[in-house]
Amino acid sequence: METGASPQQAGDATPPDVHHKIGQLTRQLHDTLHELGLAERLKGTAAELPDVKSRLSYIARLTGEAAEKVLNRVDQAKHQNDQIAAETRRVKAALVKDPVAAVAKGQIMNFLTDFEDANKGIDQHLTEIMMAQDFHDLTGQVIARVVNLATTIEEQLVELLIQTAPSGAVAKPSTGVHKPPLAGPVVDPAKEADVVTSQSQVDDLLASLGF
């Protein structure tokens, strides 16, 4: 096994398309980091190579569970609220019809007891909904670590490209801003042209097109 080959020699032995692909990958990652505003925050964290896939899966799982939990609690609270609303209408009608009988038969007291129970239940749901938001803190931390990892990978790819580039190779200029077919949510509208930032802007644009 040869161990004395210099990086330059190793580069000469590498097919050109590999350099091209690595270059493309590096450019894409660089652009992405730049769009995220992290281009200047490159840090050497090469010693850390955690499992990105499991981290991202963790984020997806945690946020999904939180959303599901909140929706379940909202369903339950709305159901309780509907029941109390119906009971209120019923007791109100009884009071209008015969106030003395409504009190004497215990309808008012029963209603107040039911109302108090429902109030406690709804309050518990609201507390759970509030607590479910903790995913934000947890996933935020994981996301920060994944971003750091992406930064490290970019640094390593750039270093790899430089070390293995053929002699006399000149980096091709970028053919333009990389724009995926679907860009997804706008993270920073101030840094992106030709995007809308509100529903009213969407409506104005559609109106200008005759819709």
Partner 1 sequence: MAELRFLVVDDFSTMRRIVRNLLKESGFSEADEAEDGVVALQKLRNSNFDFVVTDINMPNMNGFQLLAEIKKDDKLKHIPVLMVTAEARKEDIVTAAQQGAAGYIVKPFTKATLEEKLTHILKKSGLQ
Residues that bind partner 1 (CB under 8 A): 64, 67-68, 71, 74, 182-186, 189, 194-199, 202, 205-206, 209, 211
171 vs 186 by CB, closer to partner 1: 186
The least distance separating partner 1 from the CB of residue 141, rounded to whole angstroms, comes to: 22
16 vs 184 by CB, closer to partner 1: 184
- Crossing angle between the packed helical segments 16-35 and 135-164, to the nearest 10 degrees: 140
The least distance separating partner 1 from the CB of residue 93, rounded to whole angstroms, comes to: 25
The span from the CA of 23 to the CA of 160, in Å, is 10
110 vs 197 by CB, closer to partner 1: 197
3 vs 198 by CB, closer to partner 1: 198
15 vs 210 by CB, closer to partner 1: 210
Give which of 149, 130, 84 is closest to 110, Cα–Cα. Answer: 84
The least distance separating partner 1 from the CB of residue 147, rounded to whole angstroms, comes to: 20
CB atoms < 10 A from the CB of 160, how many? 15
User: Are residues 35 and 154 in contact, defined by beta-carbon separation less than 8 angstroms?
Assistant: no
Task: Give 125: exposed, middle or buried? Use CB within 10 Å, 0-12, 13-18, 19+.
Answer: buried
Residue 189 DSSP label: G
The least distance separating partner 1 from the CB of residue 72, rounded to whole angstroms, comes to: 10
The least distance separating partner 1 from the CB of residue 73, rounded to whole angstroms, comes to: 13
| Residue 173, both tokens | 């200029």
The span from the CA of 152 to the CA of 147, in Å, is 9
